[in-house]
Structure 1
Amino acid sequence: MNDFPNYAGSGPSRRSVLSAAGLAAFGAGLFSLPGNVRAQDVERVEALIAQMTIVEKAGQLNILGDPFRFRPQNVNPLDGQGDPERINQMIREGTVGNLFNGVGADAGRRIQTIAVEESRLKIPLLFAADIIHGLFTVFPVPLGEAAAFDADLALRTARAAAIEGAASGIHQTFAPMVDVARDQRWGRVVEGAGEDVLLNERLAAARVRGFQGDKGLADRDALLATPKHFVAYSAAIGGMDYNTTDMSEATLRGTFLPPFKAAFEAGALSVMSGFNDLNGVPTSGNHRMLTEILRDEWGFTGFVVSDYTSEQELIAHGFAEDGRDAARIALLAGVDMSMVSGLYLEHIPDLVAKGDVPMARIDQAVRRVLLAKAMLGLFDDPYRGCDPVREKAVVNAKAHHDLAREAGVKSIVLLKNEGGLLPLNRDGQKIALIGPFAADLDVFGPWTIWGDETRKVSLEAGFKAAMSDPSDLVIVQGSDVEAALDGGIAAAVAAARGADVVVLALGESSKMSGEAQSRTEIDIPAPQRALAEAVAATGKPVVVLLRNGRALELSGAVKDADAIVVTWFLGSQMGHSVADVVFGTVSPSGRLPVSFPHRSGQQPFYYDHKTTGRPANNALATQEYVARYRETTNTALYPFGHGLTYGEVRYGTVQLSSATMDGNGRIEASVAVTNSGSVPVEETVQLYIHDRVASLTQPVRRLRDWQKVRLAEGETKTVRFTLTRQQLEFINQQGRPTVEPGLFRLWLTSSAQAGEPVEFRLNR
């Protein structure tokens, strides 16, 4: 059914339909409880709800920015709520339930003291923060870390971030972002796991488990995870942030919902609603998404928090008349907590008094929030995480920085290495490190609020630490990120001529990706391209180190460089991580989680696209009356899953245990993988399938599994996969998973554009 049918024309009014949908929504889900909640906590919460005034109930659903611990340069100008005395008084009055983006154990104790000693009901505050890829110790941006294809690594970095956050007075993180991102113009690609559904599912689950730990939310090192942004926010038309989204039920359920479901199955008990509208219904007012699917279908028992003023933005969407109407719609749709706008606090008393929102709905939302606080152990120990001694011992721990370096190394992707230029020689080779990122400390990437600036490692520092004689390294900036420098190119050319090899550090700054940083052209800025052309003209061997938060269009001297390495934003230990790979301490093992296009105009581009009825032959330079652009083929310059090592990896012929799969049977697929090179490597063997004939057209390939295999020099291993009937499912026209008999193709290969398929038949 539609969320709000017949709200135009001769049918019932939009207001009456919304009210009817909302008022009918509280039956079976009214008292749904998390499976591991304690009976004593339920009793305590119900006793509190019985005592609370309607204003105090609204207060528990009100989230404000933390003015006590927030670093001033990061305050969002939309807040308008930075007066500590005002918020102190609100805490005393019980009209704020959550403070976000403030960090610090000592100040956290002082704030919490007001709540539990000076307010009437002594309900502790929930402290939340945007801990996306580390707190004080910063790990690779999530897109970079996704290139490791390593769920255990994602779990471990989330675990370390949680340990630092929990010791710094935080209880909840607004992460992970699990939006499947298929248009590289969208700036927030950097926050997720890229374009593939399976990779997003596995990393979503791993990050939730990492944030929350395995000892229960009351454990001192646990953070409540909040997957975001529910739902389809990343499918913004044109890649423009906050834009509308429009898609079929099959696409919604087959691409954008699965990572959220994986996160909830991993134990996440909060979720953030998105800014976007979906098929005409804003997601922060979407009853079908937030109640019918999230709760009634999936059984989610946690709480929903709006994104920053997203429920207020129902007005700008043209979906609500004013703030009161927006609060009513969001509440009835299923948004439990209101972030920053203050609409719930302002309007809930009147909405309940006039019967527009039932008290049962308010109690339901309050119950969900209070139970989360109880499960976090805040009623037993409201000062959890407010120990400055432990905070000092935990923050920036050596083990966390060692992990940051490891994660950085595993996130690096080697795209190209002609003539085996890499690794470089650390002894006696004169290197010109040129570009705006050569000595720059912009290593953290977007969504780093509290990263310890004193612990940043630049490329210059990393290279010098790795080289036998640091004086063999010459540093020249050459250009700014988006502007030329007087004399910059001349200085760069002179340095290149005096060097044995040039390393160009080019790409995007952290301000060019992330929220509100959509781009029409996903290329390297023109001043840097000019720098690359001038340096390449010297004839010296060139290595390009890309710093980026998305896939990029590469052209000219950058595309033609002898070696190209994707280094993303790798966090605190970036310089050391890059040096470890460039100088061969470790062979690169990362794989692209996003496809690098030939041209920006190919966006949205993703490997698991459809063939169309007029598929192009990409081997032909020109071909008319087929699905293609005049200027390029329907391929990626560097496809999803691509990544080289310093070895020479060869794949044998794929073998199947049977040519048919019966009923609920299985097929074993295997391939011999050989490292004929002279260094050990780690290869990521990828399993793709294609359903040849189905009742809905199917992607040309879909990733169904992968394995990482270590190969010594000269070693061959046989890598085996067991393919099940479930891995052949797709979402049908009714929005349900189905498997249909017929012919399938299967690849075991190194990327989404590599390898030759074998075929098998699924019987009924």
Structure 2
Amino acid sequence: MRITKILITTLMSIITVSNANAQQKLNSEIEKKIDVLMAKMTIEEKVGQMNQYNGFWDVTGPAPVGGTAEQKYENIKKGLVGSMLTVRGVKEVKAVQKIAVEQTRLGIPLIIGFDVIHGYKTLSPIPLAEAASWDLAAIEKSAEVAASEAAASGINWTFGPMMDISRDARWGRVMEGAGEDPYLGSKIAVARVKGFQGDNSFKSPLRIAASAKHFAGYGFVVAGLEYNASEIGSNTLYNQVLPPFKAAVDTGLRTVMTSFNTINGIPASADKYLLKETLKNKWGFSGFVISDWASIREMIPWGYSKDEKSAAISAVEAGTDMDMEGGIYVPHLIELMKQGKVDQKYVDDAVRRILRVKYELGLFDNPYRFLDEKREKEVIGSKANHEAVLDMAKKSIVLLKNEKQLLPLKKSGQKILLLGTLASSKNSPLGSWRIASDNNTAVSVLEGLKNYTGNTLNFVEGPKLTTEEPTFLTEVKYNTTDKSGLEEAKQAAKSADVIIMVLGEHSFSTGEARSRTDINLPGLQEEFLKEIYKINPNIVLVLNNGRPLSINWASENIPAIVEAWHLGTESGNAVAQVLYGDYNPSGKLPMTFPRNVGQIPIYYNNYSTGRYTDKDNNVFWSHYSDAEKTPLYPFGFGLSYTTFDYSDFKINKKSFAKGENIQVSVTLKNTGKYEGKEVVQLYIQDEFASVARPVKELKAFELVNLKPDESKTVSFPITEKELGFYNNQGDFVVEPGSFKIMVGGNSQDLKIIEAELL
């Protein structure tokens, strides 16, 4: 046995070295090809590679005449365009690619980008919901499904995943990220990049290049207000904001997108420290950087650049390689280079990076490798893809409360009343950021529950959620006056055994440009909930939302609460299977739920402040005089239909030297009646350091499945990686001192062991 293991280890080492050598040889060949191509390119053609246009006409139809569209069309033929975005479908992409490849002097193919955020046509849960699964394999699979459908439609580059850490539920784009924690966010960032890019060889035409966004600090916009400035210190930048991006780069990420915000008064697209010194030089990033939509142009209204020419200079010298729909580089860089006002080395570096990714994607070998109509029909909407997103949706659901044994529902003999506009919606559950998907294609909760025929199911809508059906481009107008349907719902509630109320926010209340100052249940929903509760308190509240909500009254009074987010195409099936117990919920919150908006920003890895604490560890006077300081639901929280017990938490040595690893372990036991999963979470506090450290930080976790009465010992190694942090110069340091090591099922309920690094 031992000899076999040695042989396997040796063989794997040989394969690894062989693969590394093959990749190194391929990279060298690509660089030589780039050298040859760039020697042939004019200044105009080089700058053209740095220009990205949004789709602007029916490519398979007649060429546009007049206006901006005609100019863009002519620029493609002149070789002045390196990329297109939002052109999708094999026929459309093939038509525009043929222009670039067959009608330009050098035939350089376009790279086709698209916002593939949580699926293409078949939608997974929104990213924040996926993060609640803490299931990295499932998240990677979800990204793989999204990549396969996008690639089958001719797209080879996604503007995702979003890696912005955020503590502010007012910001609409929290739905697009992984929550508030940099460790969990880093793990999820890696999983998503792997899902999109595979092993980075792009041998499969169903893998696409990923783009980490928004670099950097966009999740910390002031007041959660879209497109705002970000006010953060270096400690927050290095320890909270940058780790997911660094992890993605180390995984082989191919592109990075700049953010809209400023840090220290500098717009991200002109931030030399972030883009050049940190990303490209210190981290060794070899891919290319693209601006967010027109963000180079927007440096003018920011008051940073006086005109388009100065914006172009600032962006290219900072390391922004491609201009997304800004119209800045092509009109001005060519002239500025000829005048000697922009050094050609900046443009050459940008073009080399862009061409490198195009070569890696195989676009020069075959510009049409992503364009197969048969594959498009076979892959998009396949049964396997639907099964994958259903699995992801079930794993994303978080059980917040379950009293009176309302859940799981009995399979027969119950009168079930279903209430709420969102219960029958086939549109809102799809979530925000789903521009390639078709409206009204989600399985509604009503449809999902109808699959279970043992109970009597009655549906009453109650007061409408909105005054009109919103779209991605319109503001959501919630109904605040029309109580039609309330009396019918109240009458139906009298005879129901269990009432399921699906409440929350419409998905178009979340996403880009969807900031909110009120994170309570909008419209008449809380009043609706209270009125039904007066008649029949046996209520299961199913939440549909894209951000943490303030649900204080519901949390105090409603016996069962299920956080079901916006779960995508298979939403209703996932909810029904969880409510009926065919899937035991295992999700944990990736973001703290506040009691009210006044607590925001609220997060678990806070600081203790300099004031002393009382016997209950409350900081003296550092509190709100009108509300509890604690969260409604903490980070990492989530219940199950079964129960778990943590015991025998121990460490193999309490004092250890620098460079020496230690091991902690805990025994987890399923003490309930159902098989279930638990996310065992490890937190560490560095009690004394050269800079103040948070009261706790997530450093490891493991998703454990146990049958009733089954136990497992879960072990975590603790190395310098878990004990260290970034100082204010951005250097990773490990300092001797005292540490608290904590383990438990959420960030509040933890067992503690003391340890010391000598």
Pick from 590, 595, 598 the counterpart of residue 593 of structure 1: 590
**CA drift at 1:428:** 2.3
Q: Deviations over 1:469-497 (max 9, x none)?
A: 5x523232433142143422212212211
Partner of 2:750: 755
Unpaired runs of at least 5, structure 2: 1-22, 467-477
Pick from 434, 437, 443 the counterpart of residue 457 of structure 1: 443
Q: Deviations over 1:640-695 (max 9, x none)?
A: 00000000212124111122122212222112222111110101110011111122
Structure 1 Cα separation of the partners of residues 514 and 88 of structure 2: 26
Matched, 1:530 2:535: no
Pick from 400, 410, 418 the counterpart of residue 385 of structure 2: 400
- State how 1:238-257 maps to structure 2 within 5 Å: 238-257=223-242
Q: Pick which of 56-65 and 460-469 moved more.
A: 460-469
Partner of 1:104: 89
**CA drift at 1:453:** 4.0
Pick from 645, 661, 667 the counterpart of residue 662 of structure 2: 667
Matched, 1:148 2:133: yes
Helix, strand or coil at the partner of 1:428: coil
Structure 1 Cα separation of the partners of residues 255 and 625 of structure 2: 47
- What residue identity is the alignment partner of 2:129? G
- State how 1:151-300 maps to structure 2 within 5 Å: 151-214=136-199, 216-300=201-285
Q: 1:633 to 1:740 in 2, by over 3 A?
A: farther
Unpaired runs of at least 5, structure 1: 1-33, 72-79
Structure 2 Cα separation of the partners of residues 703 and 42 of structure 1: 41
Partner of 2:737: 742
Q: 1:280 to 1:353 in 2, by over 3 A?
A: same
**CA drift at 1:400:** 0.7
**CA drift at 1:540:** 3.1
Structure 2 Cα separation of the partners of residues 508 and 410 of structure 1: 21
Partner of 2:412: 427
Pick from 467, 477, 483 the counterpart of residue 479 of structure 2: 483
Q: Deviations over 1:150-209 (max 9, x none)?
A: 111111111111111111101100000001111111111110100011100001011111
Partner of 1:687: 682
Helix, strand or coil at the partner of 1:652: strand
**CA drift at 1:407:** 0.3
Percent of aligned pairs with the same residue? 40
Do the aligned partners of 1:479 and 1:531 also contact (CA within 8 Å) in 2?
Answer: no
Partner of 2:46: 57
TM-score (norm 2): 0.92
Structure 2 Cα separation of the partners of residues 737 and 61 of structure 1: 34
Matched, 1:639 2:634: yes
Matched, 1:437 2:428: no
Structure 1 Cα separation of the partners of residues 59 and 410 of structure 2: 45
Partner of 1:9: none
- What residue identity is the alignment partner of 2:590? P
Q: Deviations over 1:533-556 (max 9, x none)?
A: 111111330111111111111122
**CA drift at 1:632:** 2.6
Q: 1:498 to 1:757 in 2, by over 3 A?
A: same
Do the aligned partners of 1:439 and 1:475 also contact (CA within 8 Å) in 2?
Answer: no
Q: Deviations over 1:107-151 (max 9, x none)?
A: 211221111111111111111100011001100111000001111
**CA drift at 1:84:** 5.4
- State how 1:259-408 maps to structure 2 within 5 Å: 259-408=244-393
**CA drift at 1:36:** 6.8
Do the aligned partners of 2:142 and 2:388 also contact (CA within 8 Å) in 1?
Answer: yes
Pick from 516, 519, 525 the counterpart of residue 513 of structure 2: 516
Matched, 1:131 2:116: yes
- What residue identity is the alignment partner of 2:625? R
- What residue identity is the alignment partner of 2:291? S
- What residue identity is the alignment partner of 1:646? Y
Q: Pick which of 303-312 and 366-375 moved more.
A: 366-375
Q: Pick which of 160-169 and 648-657 moved more.
A: 648-657
- What residue identity is the alignment partner of 2:626? E
Matched, 1:716 2:711: yes
Pick from 24, 40, 47 the counterpart of residue 36 of structure 2: 47
Structure 2 Cα separation of the partners of residues 689 and 533 of structure 1: 41
- What residue identity is the alignment partner of 2:44? V
Helix, strand or coil at the partner of 1:419: coil
Structure 2 Cα separation of the partners of residues 404 and 539 of structure 1: 35
- What residue identity is the alignment partner of 1:472? L
Do the aligned partners of 2:180 and 2:591 also contact (CA within 8 Å) in 1?
Answer: yes
Do the aligned partners of 1:660 and 1:760 also contact (CA within 8 Å) in 2?
Answer: yes
- What residue identity is the alignment partner of 2:74? Q
**CA drift at 1:341:** 1.2
Q: 1:493 to 1:83 in 2, by over 3 A?
A: farther
Do the aligned partners of 1:180 and 1:195 also contact (CA within 8 Å) in 2?
Answer: yes
**CA drift at 1:559:** 4.4
Q: Pick which of 682-691 and 38-47 moved more.
A: 38-47
How much is the aligned-residue C-alpha RMSD, in angstroms? 2.0
Q: Deviations over 1:300-340 (max 9, x none)?
A: 11110000011111111111001111111101111000011
Partner of 1:569: 566
Partner of 1:701: 696
Structure 1 Cα separation of the partners of residues 206 and 484 of structure 2: 52
Do the aligned partners of 1:616 and 1:628 also contact (CA within 8 Å) in 2?
Answer: no
**CA drift at 1:523:** 1.3
Q: Deviations over 1:212-250 (max 9, x none)?
A: 012612431110000000011111111111111122222
**CA drift at 1:625:** 5.2
TM-score (norm 1): 0.91
Q: Deviations over 1:603-643 (max 9, x none)?
A: 011100000012555959xx895211112333211100000
Structure 1 Cα separation of the partners of residues 59 and 433 of structure 2: 14
Matched, 1:608 2:594: no
Structure 1 Cα separation of the partners of residues 106 and 721 of structure 2: 51
- What residue identity is the alignment partner of 1:358? D
Partner of 2:497: 500
- State how 1:22-37 maps to structure 2 within 5 Å: 37=26
Matched, 1:627 2:622: yes
Structure 1 Cα separation of the partners of residues 24 and 638 of structure 2: 42
Structure 1 Cα separation of the partners of residues 78 and 110 of structure 2: 12
Count of paired positions: 719
Structure 2 Cα separation of the partners of residues 70 and 419 of structure 1: 59
Structure 2 Cα separation of the partners of residues 226 and 424 of structure 1: 42
Do the aligned partners of 1:68 and 1:102 also contact (CA within 8 Å) in 2?
Answer: no
Structure 1 Cα separation of the partners of residues 460 and 327 of structure 2: 51
**CA drift at 1:81:** 11
**CA drift at 1:47:** 2.7
Q: Pick which of 207-216 and 175-184 moved more.
A: 207-216
